[in-house]
Amino acid sequence: MSELKPYPEYKDSGVPWLGKVPPHWKVERLKSLMSNIITQATKQKTNDFYIALENVESWTGRLRKTGFDVPSDSQVKQFRSGDILFGRLRPYLAKVTRPMMDGVCVGEFLVLRPRISSATSSYMEQLLRSYTIIEAINSSTFGAKMPRADWQFIGGMAVTLPTLPEQATIVRFLDHMDRRIRRYIRAKQKLIRLLEEQKQAIIHHAVTRGLYPSVPFKPSGVEWLGDIPEHWEICRLKQVATIQTGLTLGKNHQDTVTRSYPYLRVANVQHGRLDLDVIKHINVPPEEAARSSLKNGDVLMTEGGDIDKLGRGCVWQEEIPNCLHQNHIFAVRCSANILLPKMLVWLIVSGHGRAYFQLTAKQTTNLASTNTTILRSFPVLLPPIEEQRAILEYIDSQAAIAESLIENTNHNIAFLLEYRARLISDVVTGKLDVRGVNLPAAEEVEAPEEYTDLPESEEIMGEDLQEEIPAEGDLDEQ
């Protein structure tokens, strides 16, 4: 915003990482402004509002998927409406929130409450979520795999404290800017969804209708598929491919000679690509390994998962020598010069493939799975081999356009998220003066948005939270 400028004057804060601050701002130790509340409960009521680390969105503090379902054996901390919850496990994730109701939270949160009237919860929440503060706290953590911040360090940090009217102005400005940024991000994410849908539509049309609209069509004989080009064949997958099942993990090979082999898990097979960041190894006899060895051109397909993602797959291109696959991944080997592997991948992920697996899969509440019998009966559309190559070239060229637009849009979103983090930091540490900024008189409250700042892989899962909470009582750590 063009109205944003530095303050007319500054003074030295005396803190290297804070630098200079406006002369009328105070610099105080956090523990003199906030109390660390440790009101512990070992057994909670069924109506307790419960917040775990995974319920807090990084860098925004917005709550998601919260509720009253608290693990019966967990120890929790109690908080009041307006208290600030600061996630001290992996503090670089900036899990900071201010729930507006009483409840309980996991012990990995610090529960912070203003202890003096000159520090408001709304301002302190923004301050504790600022990039400058998070970076300083993260530098103090201990533990390699599960780094944690300590209240002794956090409480001893020097932080900025404007006047009460200025705190209110800062909070109102940052709330306004956050709403504007969220609107922009939602628009960009809608564009990404439309591009993904367009890419799927291109794939589905190409592999089920072909590239030449003027050719005659015939009934496919498949209820959900409709007509297909007259010169195409349709057959079951078992007629044009073999299906190899993988290793069953956990077998005891104590009395046999074994070798170590890399192997693929379900997590390695993503939609249209491989994720080879983490590859595990297993010791098995060579003859057993031979039955589960991958070959160049194998189509990898997952056995189960979310119903909308069932059948995700990709083509194996010998990325890792002598690699095996576990039994929850099928390796489909297409007959040469009859069915191209990438053609099968697009058939599986097209609307045709999704319809087949949704109709035939074994489903539970949240998951679905298939098996070799169902997979062998998958209806395969077979254009001539040269036409398959033309279809694949067309899909690759059209998908590249969509993927480029998606990548650019994701870069724009990432830039906005970084801008928001920097803006908060600059405002709450006095680098920018927002007192003269004209804001709308009133702004409507919006529903929570859909985007997530960090990938799922960065989120903290429940099994990681193993640290105990201090002994029961209501204590204020100084």
Q: For 269-313, how does the pLDDT look when each residue is reduced to its tens digit (9 = 90+)?
A: 888 889 999 999 999 999 999 999 999 999 999 887 766 667 678
What's the token pair of residue 43?
């057994």
> Do the domains spanning 11-174+439-477 and 217-382 agree at the CATH topology level?
yes
Q: Which amino acid is at 114?
A: P
Q: Which of 8-22, 139-153, 306-320, 449-463 has the highest mean pLDDT?
A: 8-22
Q: How many CA atoms lie within 13 A of 361 on its CB side?
A: 24
Nearest 5°: CA angle at 368, between 224 and 55? 120
Residue 471 has pLDDT above 60, yes or no: no
Q: Is the pLDDT of residue 203 over 90?
A: yes
Interstrand relation of 362-363 and 217-219 (parallel, antiparallel or unpaired):
unpaired
pLDDT of res. 188? 96
pLDDT (tens digit per residue) in 352-391:
998 898 888 887 766 778 889 999 999 999 999 999 999 9
Domain segments of the chain: what residues?
Answer: 11-174+439-477, 217-382
- Kind and range of the H or E run holding 329: strand 329-334
**How many percent of the chain have pLDDT more than 90?**
70
Token couple for 343: 């053609």
Note the CATH number of domain 217-382. 3.90.220.20
C-alpha gyration radius of the chain: 28
Average pLDDT over residues 454-477: 40
Residue/partner pairs of 208-214 with CB below 8 Å, 24 or more apart: 208/350, 208/351, 208/352, 208/381, 210/383, 210/387, 210/391, 211/387, 211/390, 211/391, 211/394
Sequence-distant (≥ 6) Cβ neighbours of residue 396 within 8 angstroms: none
40 and 470 in contact (C-beta within 8 Å)? yes
453 — pLDDT class (breaks 50, 70, 90) = very low
- Bridge partners of 78? 104
The predicted-structure confidence for 26-48, as pLDDT tens digits, reads as follows 999 999 999 999 988 765 555 67
Residue that the structure tokens 């189509």 belong to: 299
Which pLDDT belongs to residue 430? Answer: 96
Q: Identify the CATH number of the domain defined by range 11-174+439-477.
A: 3.90.220.20
